Copies of this chain bind each other. A is one copy, B any other.
Amino acid sequence: MKVRLGPVERLFPMPCVLVVGGSIDEADVLTAAWVNVVSSTPPTIVMGLRKTRHTLELMTRQGDFTVNVPDTELAAQVDYCGIVSGRTEDKFAATGLTLIPATLVNAPLIKECPYNIECRITQQVEVGEYVVVFGEIVECHADRRVLRKGTTLAEMDELDPLIYCAGVREYRGLGPKLHDAYKIGNRFRKEKLDE
* Interface, chain A (partner B; CB < 8 A): 1-15, 17, 33-48, 67, 69, 72, 75-84, 94, 100, 103, 109, 111, 115-117, 122-123, 125, 127-130, 132, 134, 136-145, 147-148, 152-156, 159, 161, 163-189, 192
Contact = CB atoms under 8 A, between A and B. Distances in A.
A4 to B, nearest CB: 6
A83 B186 contact: yes
Contacts of A80: 185-186, 188-189
A38 B44 contact: no
A179 B129 contact: no
Contacts of A169: 180-182
> Which one of A3, A35, A100 has the greatest number of beta carbons of chain B within 10 Å?
A3
B168 A155 contact: yes
15 contacts: A3-B147, A5-B140, A6-B139, A6-B140, A7-B42, A7-B43, A8-B43, A13-B174, A34-B36, A38-B130, A39-B48, A75-B179, A80-B188, A148-B168, A171-B180
B45 A185 contact: no
Question: How many monomers of this chain does the complex have?
Answer: 2
A5 B142 contact: yes
A189 B183 CA distance: 45
Nearest to A155: B168
A39 B132 contact: yes
Contacts of A144: 1-3
A180 B78 CA distance: 12
A181 B33 CA distance: 12
Contacts of A3: 141-144, 147, 152
A127 B39 contact: yes
A67 B7 CA distance: 13
A187 to B, nearest CB: 7
